[in-house]
């Protein structure tokens, strides 16, 4: 590959890389070697990878190159370098889940998402760092990924490594998971697209649990098309996960038209703007105006105080997390970090009545949104209430705090409660150069509609062309 092309390969889209392969301008082997070298050069600064699968990735890329030379294409991800959150099992590789207690946990079989990525031809570069157990804080034995837009700012939780690696061009795209916002928060903080599918669209077999009734797995990418491509490869019914849906996966067979006539999106001014950073509000308003010009009709949806429902998430998530970690906690108490230890302690204190009451509140919230979504194709809102905050080790490795929970999850938790699909994408940049983000929420199983809107908006905005400084 020519030097000029090589220097830009890290920010090529999936379709662009595939086209380069098709035209024999480069090969999966060449691209994989370039990405591995970039990880070697840059990840000491960004700390996104928990495990780099150098030899495995090289061998895999060589095989995929040979297949291309023979005219064989496995699927839409053939030769595409992907990173996976270190919750996803890959046979023969450690799955640590951001913990110390699982640092010797070597997977015996592939998770379904890894199996599907490989069937589609992906090259898995490695496992990506995350918060301990996929919650708010980090274990002292694990690294804290650094935001490429500002290494002193929050990179999101818990799929922080996925957000950082994708944003820094250390993989073409990645897998994250979302229980209370963990695909969407790092996507927002790192200027990415994050697709949280409908609950049950993507198998969680072989993916470490945080809270089984809330966990989602989905792609994190630099553009909407890449998110759709990865989603199509990993979605679908899986008999090994009884929560997976039997409905067919959408084809996303549409072209850019810049015309969204006929789409109706909901918007609630109180919900979307009260106590939300003014710069974020302004960016979402601008996006709303652009979408209106593209033909979207906005319907004012009146929502009550959603924050009053959010307390139920802490009860449900912590109790289910305590159940997930019962093999190691409290027996190995001292090996857990301060944040997650506090979370598990809280979960162990949840009574049966507490859990039932919280579940009732969850169902009330679900019913509310289900009713409000009857006459709309989707709903527009911010992704976060604040811009990424300053972080240091006292926050990252410290005890539970108020920065990552409750009202901060206003725009995420309701759609983990009800499993509605969401797509998060950049809405602009703050005065200090940090990404801002908006979210389009769809009805159950309606990924196709929200991705259509997101794709049209993205094409207008040009945000995928903007990279973090110095990268």
Q: Please provide residue 177's backbone torsions phi and psi, each rounded to the nearest 5 degrees.
A: -135, 160
Q: Find the radius of gyration of the CA atoms of the chain.
A: 21
- Which tokens hold the place of 124? 């898995």
Which 8-state DSSP code applies to residue 417?
H
CA distances from 91 to 51, 105, 107, 215 (A): 13, 11, 5, 22
Half-sphere exposure of residue 228: CA atoms within 13 angstroms, side-chain side:
19
Concerning whether 302 is annotated as a catalytic residue, the answer is no
End-to-end alpha carbon distance in the chain: 20
Q: How many CB atoms lie within 10 A of CB 251?
A: 9
Among 18, 111, 157, 158, the active-site one is 158
- Helix ranges restricted to H, 349-431: 352-372, 393-396, 413-417
Q: How many CB atoms lie within 10 A of CB 174?
A: 30
Which 8-state DSSP code applies to residue 317?
H
3-class secondary-structure state, position 313: helix
Sign of CA dihedral 207, 86, 125, 458: positive
> What distance in Å separates the CA atoms of residue 191 and residue 203, rounded to the nearest whole number?
26
3-state secondary structure 88-143: ECCCCCECCCCCCCCCCCECCCCCHHHHHHHHCCCEEEEEECCCHHHCCCCCCCCC
Among 85, 146, 314, 449, the active-site one is 85
- Which tokens hold the place of 228? 């759709």
Concerning whether 394 is annotated as a catalytic residue, the answer is no
3-class secondary-structure state, position 454: helix
> What distance in Å separates the CA atoms of residue 123 and residue 159, rounded to the nearest whole number?
20
- Specify whether the CB–CB gap between 98 and 142 falls below 8 A: yes
Concerning whether 120 is annotated as a catalytic residue, the answer is no
Among 29, 157, 167, 182, the active-site one is 182
Q: Please provide residue 259's backbone torsions phi and psi, each rounded to the nearest 5 degrees.
A: -130, 115
- The vertex-224 CA angle with 220 and 227, nearest 5°, equals 40
> What distance in Å separates the CA atoms of residue 207 and residue 217, rounded to the nearest whole number?
9
Enumerate the active-site residues: 85, 158, 182
């Amino acid at each position: 590959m020519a030097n000029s092309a090589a220097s830009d390969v890290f920010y090529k889209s999936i379709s662009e890389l595939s086209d380069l392969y098709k035209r024999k301008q480069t090969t999966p082997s060449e691209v994989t070697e370039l990405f591995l070298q970039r990880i070697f050069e840059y990840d000491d600064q960004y700390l996104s990878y928990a495990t780099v699968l150098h030899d495995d990735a090289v061998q895999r890329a060589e095989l995929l190159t040979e297949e291309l030379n023979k005219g064989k294409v496995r699927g839409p991800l053939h030769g595409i370098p992907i990173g996976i959150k270190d919750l996803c099992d890959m046979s023969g590789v450690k799955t640590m889940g951001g913990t110390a207690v699982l640092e010797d946990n070597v997977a015996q079989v592939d998770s379904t998402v890894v199996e599907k990525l490989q069937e589609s031809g992906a090259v898995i570069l490695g496992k990506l760092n995350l918060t301990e157990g996929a919650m708010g804080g980090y274990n002292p034995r694990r690294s804290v990924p650094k935001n490429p837009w500002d290494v002193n700012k929050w990179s999101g939780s818990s799929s922080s490594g996925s957000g950082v690696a994708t944003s820094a061009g250390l993989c073409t795209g990645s897998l994250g998971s979302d229980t209370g916002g963990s695909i969407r928060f790092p996507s927002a903080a790192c200027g990415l697209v994050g697709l949280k599918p409908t609950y049950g669209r993507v198998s969680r077999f072989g993916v470490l649990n945080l809270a089984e009734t809330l966990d989602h797995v989905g792609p994190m990418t630099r553009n909407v098309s890449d998110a759709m491509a990865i989603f199509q490869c990993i979605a679908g019914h899986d008999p090994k996960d009884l929560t997976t849906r039997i409905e067919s996966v959408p084809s996303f067979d549409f072209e850019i038209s810049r015309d969204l006539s006929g789409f109706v999106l909901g918007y609630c001014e109180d919900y979307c703007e009260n106590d939300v950073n003014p710069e974020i509000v302004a960016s979402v308003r601008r996006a709303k105006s652009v979408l209106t010009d593209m033909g979207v009709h906005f319907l004012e949806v009146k929502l009550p105080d959603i924050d009053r429902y959010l307390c139920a998430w802490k009860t449900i998530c912590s109790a289910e997390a305590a159940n997930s970690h019962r093999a190691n906690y409290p027996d190995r108490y001292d090996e857990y970090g301060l944040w997650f230890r506090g979370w598990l302690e809280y979960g162990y204190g949840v009574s049966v009545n507490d859990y039932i009451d919280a579940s009732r509140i969850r169902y009330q919230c679900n019913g509310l949104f289900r009713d409000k979504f009857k006459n709309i194709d989707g709903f527009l809102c911010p992704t976060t209430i604040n811009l990424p905050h300053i972080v240091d080790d006292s926050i990252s490795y410290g005890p539970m705090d108020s920065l990552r929970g409750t009202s901060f999850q206003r725009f995420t938790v309701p759609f983990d409660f009800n499993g509605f699909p969401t797509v998060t994408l950049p809405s602009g940049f703050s005065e200090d150069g940090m990404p801002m983000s908006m979210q389009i929420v769809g009805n159950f199983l309606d990924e196709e509609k929200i991705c259509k809107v997101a794709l049209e908006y993205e094409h207008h905005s040009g945000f995928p062309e903007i990279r973090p400084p110095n990268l």
